[in-house]
Structure 1
């Protein structure tokens, strides 16, 4: 990028931040969430408010009214609000976010929109109930991951966070899910590892954002162990999720 282009970008960013300062409450102006109120934060600012993310939320159409959703890796509620808007008051959303700052923004966004059918949970989802170490860079707050995800983050601090296994859903009083959204920056193997009974009993549809070969291998193992089939978001069958670099997959019970 040329010097004058870089300078122009910085000026534009400064102007946007002046109009939409972090932690201010703003109203979504366009798109399916028009009229919703959100707390401005990284990943939930100008482009979110004006629905400029292109096809980022196309996968939400896979969810129906009245569905029971687990939003695993909710961050500040970017996907949670879309899911809640889609399922409506007759559905439920359980939203998991382990880092305290992001969790507080998630709760605030839920409260701002009176979404009483959304349950926020301050925890990571992985292999077992307990505590875990979580890598978190405050300059990249949408990119945190469990240390067990086998990928170190530069400049990250280590937080101790609550960890929950999906198989604990009944004892924790959560409804059985019909749909899982998973975006955990490399930790999908842990999510599936702690949810074998849930996958066997509930047979939810799974939408997953993939960040590593290990996650693609975890999807391959899910397919083999629980008799699932993998598809692109557009619906094309995927025979081997490890054969190509895929960033999104939908897994359905056979």
Structure 2
């Protein structure tokens, strides 16, 4: 076994250990009620207290986090998207198959586009395996981008872009749910914001199309899309690029009514571009899945990541 394969096996083992800690949390400590909160306090002590106090006070607290492979980065509490990295150095259960898929499939020369990079977990993970490849991370939220920059600025082979990817190159509206600690819930899609956010704040961010971006940057070999309903616009603005290089596309799909409204147009567009869809298994392997729907019974998650190739 060569050094690259050995490294990947080590990362798979570390990812599996972190995943087991997440599963233990869900089976024994997650939930509402005083008993559950007391059990979390006894188990996670300072970490849980920091998280709880930041929620009670309604004030942001920056914490140092170490990923399961040992990279340090800075996250804000009480953001929901910081919770699992802060406790366990990894993401939630619904992301574990994708983590393993990437570890197994990233090559030394991969060009990885991270659309909706958030705090940069996937960008950081992919960068661990690159030699001649690059990560291009896109995060339009100015506050979230500031954390992405603190953690990954200067990291070799990672290019940070405070941009939305859409179907137009211009300033566009960006909607943040008010009173929610969930940076990953922001969207560029107005109908989604008015339907699913109780209140929201509108700001304006710069956007670019994939087709324009790739005129001056390398073509992607893998694109991860987690854009809270913005995936269809990203694909529309990248048709030329996608036809030219046919990258692997990792697409988050919502379940139920929200999925019908805001995920299925992206899925259908990829089928029109001659993609086939695959379901991610727990170990990161793929099973051919001829038609993605927004109803699934093999997981309780509201979202699933599918692989299009």
Shorter-normalised TM range: 0.7 to 0.9
Evaluate the alpha carbon distance shift between residue 63 and residue 154 of structure 1 in structure 2; reply closer, same or farther with a 3 A threshold.
Answer: farther
Matches within 5 A, 1:38-117: 38-41=73-76, 42=79, 43-45=81-83, 47-48=85-86, 50-51=88-89, 53=91, 54=93, 55=96, 57-60=99-102, 61-86=104-129, 88-111=130-153, 114-117=154-157
Equivalent residue pairs, number: 243
**Equivalent residue number for residue 66 of structure 2:** 27
- Partners of 2:139 and 2:112 lie apart in 1 by 14
Following TM superposition, by how much is the alpha carbon of 1:159 offset from its aligned partner in structure 2, in angstroms? 1.2
Tell which deviates more after alignment, 60-69 or 240-249. Answer: 240-249
Following TM superposition, by how much is the alpha carbon of 1:89 offset from its aligned partner in structure 2, in angstroms? 3.5
Structure 1 portions without partners, runs of 5+: none
Following TM superposition, by how much is the alpha carbon of 1:242 offset from its aligned partner in structure 2, in angstroms? 2.9
Following TM superposition, by how much is the alpha carbon of 1:116 offset from its aligned partner in structure 2, in angstroms? 2.3
**Equivalent residue number for residue 211 of structure 2:** 167
Following TM superposition, by how much is the alpha carbon of 1:146 offset from its aligned partner in structure 2, in angstroms? 0.6
RMSD across aligned positions (CA): 2.6
Following TM superposition, by how much is the alpha carbon of 1:142 offset from its aligned partner in structure 2, in angstroms? 1.7
CA contact (8 A) 1:37 1:109 kept: yes
Which string of whole-angstrom CA distances, capped at 9 and with x for unpartnered residues, describes residues 56-89 of structure 1? Answer: 5223133222200100000111221112123x23
TM-score by length of 1: 0.84
Evaluate the alpha carbon distance shift between residue 104 and residue 9 of structure 1 in structure 2; reply closer, same or farther with a 3 A threshold.
Answer: farther
**Equivalent residue number for residue 239 of structure 1:** 290
Evaluate the alpha carbon distance shift between residue 26 and residue 51 of structure 1 in structure 2; reply closer, same or farther with a 3 A threshold.
Answer: closer
Alignment partner of 1:122 is 2:166: no
CA contact (8 A) 1:127 1:164 kept: yes
Which string of whole-angstrom CA distances, capped at 9 and with x for unpartnered residues, describes residues 30-78 of structure 1? Answer: x3x22x1100233235645633545252231332222001000001112
2:242 corresponds to which of 199, 220, 226 = 199
- Partners of 1:170 and 1:139 lie apart in 2 by 33
**Equivalent residue number for residue 276 of structure 2:** 229
- Partners of 2:268 and 2:176 lie apart in 1 by 28
CA contact (8 A) 1:75 1:142 kept: yes
2:46 corresponds to which of 3, 15, 27 = 15
**Comparing both structures, which one devotes a greater share of its residues to helix?**
2
TM-score by length of 2: 0.70
Evaluate the alpha carbon distance shift between residue 229 and residue 108 of structure 1 in structure 2; reply closer, same or farther with a 3 A threshold.
Answer: same
1:177 corresponds to which of 216, 220, 232 = 220
